[in-house]
Amino acid sequence: MGRLRNLVHLDLSDNYLWGYIPPTLGRLSKLENLHLSSNSLVGNIPSTLGHLTQLTTLAIASNHINVSIPLEIGNLNFLQVLDLSGNEIRGSIPSTFGHLKRLKSLDLSQNKLVGPIPSSLGHLTQLTTLNMRSNLINASLVNLTSLSLHYNNLTGPIPSTLGHLNRIRILDLSENKLVGPIPSSVGHLTQLNTLNMYSNQINGSIPLEIGNLKRVEAVKLYDNKLDGPIPPELMNCSKLMELELGNNLLRGSIPSEIGKLQELYYLDLSHNFINGKILSELGAIPSIDTVDLSMNNLSGSIPKSVRKVPHLDVLGNNLEGEIPSTSANGPPPHHKKIATRLVPIILAMVALLALIFGILIIRARRDKKVEPAETGEITKCADEFAIWNYDGRITFQDIIEATEDFHIKYCIGTGGYGSVYRARLPSGKVVALKKLHCSETEELTSLESFRNKARLLSQIRHRNIVKLYGFCLHRKCMFLIY
């Protein structure tokens, strides 16, 4: 087989191969993918595999390899996937792995590896998946003071063993795909200064043990699926300066103990189901600068002390009396959470998409002749309702009920192309609706052309552009769903 010099892909996985991996495989200089997983191979990984410098995938998982990993694997400069899991590999993790600059996935799980995790792995800036479970690695992380795994592709629950990192000061697991509850062991991190777990899919209640974090200054848990009440124990974090719990499913009232947070300057409880009254204690906090209580079920009047907060947002509640204008109090700080940055993002990004729609509409008029109307105008807006690329169900009735038929109180912005509304769906998902002005809908000459172009725009993917989910099209009711 070593004579197949032009071979690019070799997949022998899921067979009944046994014996040793032949060193002659190292002669396949053009090989890009080598799959030998799920066989009965024994012995070592030949060091000659380090000659396969074009290799992007090396998978030898689920065999009986029982010798240490050769240092030469670190020569595979183009390697992106390395899977050696499910063997009996002994020895330590080679420090030469730090040379694999393009590596995206590394799976060494279910082996007998020992020793520390080499610091050179910190050089793998493109690594998104790292699995080392079920080994004999004896490295100690108890001296770790900062753990930042922000904006990766982490999945599964948060391990309770995080509570062993008793010297950690910064814990950042934000913007991943973590699920399940926040483990109560987080309360053991008594040296913690910053706790970031925002933008995941974490559910369950906020653990009472967070109240043990006497030194924490920032707790950011927004944009998750946390439910239940805000625990009064959280107000024992006397040094807390930033508390961001927005865009969750929290219920109950604001704890009266919140006045104990004398150093708090930023509070975000928006987009939840919090009820009861706004507490005057909030306005009595000497350092308070920003309070966002928008889109909840709060009732009663706004205390005078709270009205004096420099940046106050209470829109979307059931309050009595005059509601202060958010803009009158000035714009919120630049680090406001993603969910409550909805207004500026929508006004900017939707304007861009609306401009594209305008261009497409003009082109539709030019490219297609006007055909005589046979059936008159559409009588049901729901008949022209379409959703794409959404992980749930949206119905036309959901939109109408969520906005009370586009009531002005749900309007969060108006531009040249239409008005933007905020809607919380029965699932708890928050979407934005761009309701286009009638003048635009009257100009449409080709519904099918418009639908096709809208579908095309729904495929646009960019982290800085609001995703288009779908549209509703009618001469008297036309809106886009973001």
Residue 196 burial (CB count, 10 A): 20
Biggest CA pair distance of the chain: 85
419 backbone dihedrals φ, ψ, rounded to 5°: -115, 150
Tokens describing residue 143: 């001296």
Query: What is the 3 state secondary structure string of the chain?
Result: CCCCCCCCEEECCCCCCEEECCHHHHHCCCCCEEECCCCEEEECCCHHHHHCCCCCEEECCCCEECCCCCHHHHHCCCCCEEECCCCCCCCCCCHHHHHCCCCCEEECCCCCCEECCCHHHHHCCCCCEEECCCCEECCCCCCCCEEECCCCCCEEECCHHHHHCCCCCEEECCCCEEEECCCHHHHHCCCCCEEECCCCEEEECCCHHHHHCCCCCEEECCCCEEEECCCHHHHHCCCCCEEECCCCEEEECCCHHHHHCCCCCEEECCCCEEEEECCCHHHHCCCCCEEECCCCEEEECCCHHHHCCCEEECCCCEECCCCCCCHHHCCCCCCCCCHHHHHHHHHHHHHHHHHHHHHHHHHHHHHCCCCCCCCCCCCCHHHHEEECCCCCCCCHHHHHHHHCCCCHHHEEEECCCEEEEEEECCCCCEEEEEEECHHHHHCCCCHHHHHHHHHHHCCCCCCCCCCCCEEECCCCCCEEEC
The answer to whether 434 is a known ligand-binding residue is: yes
Tokens describing residue 233: 């124990």
Cα 406 to Cα 404: distance, rounded to the nearest angstrom: 5
Cα 86 to Cα 60: distance, rounded to the nearest angstrom: 9
Cα 164 to Cα 149: distance, rounded to the nearest angstrom: 17
CA dist 247 to 290, 344, 462, Å?
16, 17, 22
137 backbone dihedrals φ, ψ, rounded to 5°: -65, 130
Q: CB of 259 within 8 A of CB of 305?
A: no
Residues of the binding site: 434
Residues of the binding site for ATP: 434
